[in-house]
Amino acid sequence: MPTKRQQPLKRQRATKIVATVGPASNSEEKLKALFLAGVDVFRLNFSHGTQADHGVVLDRIRRLEKEMNRPIGVIADMQGPKLRIGRFKDGAIAIKAGDILHFDADVDRLGDETRVPIPHPDILAALNVGSTVLCDDGKVRLKVIKKGEGFLEAQVVAGTKLSNNKGFNIPDVVLPLSPLTDKDRLDLEFACEAGVEWIALSFVQRPEDIHEARALIKDRAAVMLKMEKPSAVEYLTELVELSDSIMVARGDLGVEISLAEVPALQKRMIAEARKFGRPVIVATQMLESMITAPVPTRAEVSDVATAVYEGADCVMLSAETAAGQFPVEAVTFMDDIIRHVECDPGYRHVLDATQAEWGKTIGDAVTKATYQAAIAVDASALVAFTLSGTTGLRAARERPAIPILGLTPKMETARRLALSYGVHAVHMKEDIHSFGDMVDTAVRTAVEHGLGKPGDRLAITAGVPFAKPGTTNIMRITTIGADSPPSRHDADTPAVRSPKAHDPKAHEAKAKEAKTPGGKVHA
């Protein structure tokens, strides 16, 4: 028998939280604690651990999902190509600005103070005189000054030390590499067969990389694009349109471009994702100090808040929850930051000033009209019946000031919608055959999940024929009757709309503005 805490849970915020699972958080107890603290989606980082390890964690997440009676999304993050230099005789070399280093692909010979082995002959061939080479996360910067058959020479611009197997980046060259290594292909197949919702692709440089991945995934999971290469930025619009979601991977991106450019790119990527209705995650070092400290820095709090103000669907924790000493506390702080931002009266002004472009399909028009009607009648929630998730994504693109109840007969769709702004996804067991079924299900679920009470209005959008994807074509406004079943939420575990951000009173002004002098409401 479920306990009180296991009744349907509604977050007190619209912006979602992604947490990376690792040694600090992979036990059943910690996964549950993280979920209760606020995690909506878990990330499995295939750069670490084995497939068996990730399979065990995924099984635990699925059991947690059943226990908590809430869909939980899972991201399988592929490692991608990891470019590394070879090894040195003494393990490391001292360098200084002006030194000339010889690079070649002879990895059988250890390097020294003048020579660096690189086990990537195709990379050497792709570089040209003038190309920049970054080593050790950008701590060492070199410029190619000479190129020959199977070798090149580069001058040190900055840096003092280079050691074994350090990574290297080449920011101004499109490399002749697939984003999927042999390891990634095996991991991708494992993740798809295991049933994850999202495959996150590293090292994407061009549109062809997305096509290659989709051919392997075959609709078994959604494609998440990690924006971490400067070359990908050049194709930003096309790549976002081809993907199902994007992650602003600021760590790798900040190595290959000027750090000063990253904030503007973050804002641009969020806007571009919203334009196409793609969920967008802001990631990397958001609460980095909490790996070892019980509280974040003020700058980190501001960083998380900025992503929320800019309209991101999700903010993500990496090492903070995977390997940190305070994983639950990190999620708790992130949850608190988001809720405070969404309660700020200025938050709605910022979002409303950056409205996303709407498409010209019938589904786009109906969803927009439903949202406008919901505001006009002061609805407690916008209800989106969706099979593929598209209707829920359309509603989330508007960044509505009221909750979105995403109702779907497909569990995988409910799990994917766990990533989307403001969507409270519910896997409905009953089939919808008529308008009466639709309204009854919407009302009963809204009340049960704390998204409405007798007297509240619901704005409903769906498609006819029912249970057919891509048919969003109807809107219905209904009032919850006094005889509706009571909410299963108890007084000590209230179902939540973000205070102020999701408070119907916050929309009284908008509702009044929507009325003509004669008192009629614009539909």
List the catalytic residues.
43, 84, 226, 284
Are 314 and 344 a contacting pair, CB within 8 Å? no
Are 229 and 201 a contacting pair, CB within 8 Å? no
Backbone dihedral angles phi then psi of residue 162, each to the nearest 5 degrees: -135, 125
User: Residues 84, 88, 93, 98: what is their CA dihedral angle, to the nearest 10 degrees?
Assistant: -70
Distance, in Å, from the CA atom of 324 to the CA atom of 436, rounded to the nearest integer, reads 51
Whole-angstrom CA distances from 168 to 44, 88, 93, 133 are 24, 15, 16, 7
Which residues does 234 contact at the CB level (< 8 Å), separation at least 6?
Answer: none
Whole-angstrom CA distances from 367 to 237, 363, 522 are 23, 6, 15
Residue 480, class by beta-carbon neighbours within 10 Å (0-12 exposed, 13-18 middle, 19+ buried)? buried
DSSP 128-196: -TT-EEEETTTTEEEEEEEEETTEEEEEEEE-SEEETT-BEE-TTS--S--S--HHHHHHHHHHHHHT-
Distance, in Å, from the CA atom of 419 to the CA atom of 108, rounded to the nearest integer, reads 47
Residue 25, class by beta-carbon neighbours within 10 Å (0-12 exposed, 13-18 middle, 19+ buried)? buried
Helix (H) or strand (E) holding 27: none
Q: Which segments within 349-417 are labelled E, that is strand?
A: 381-385, 404-408
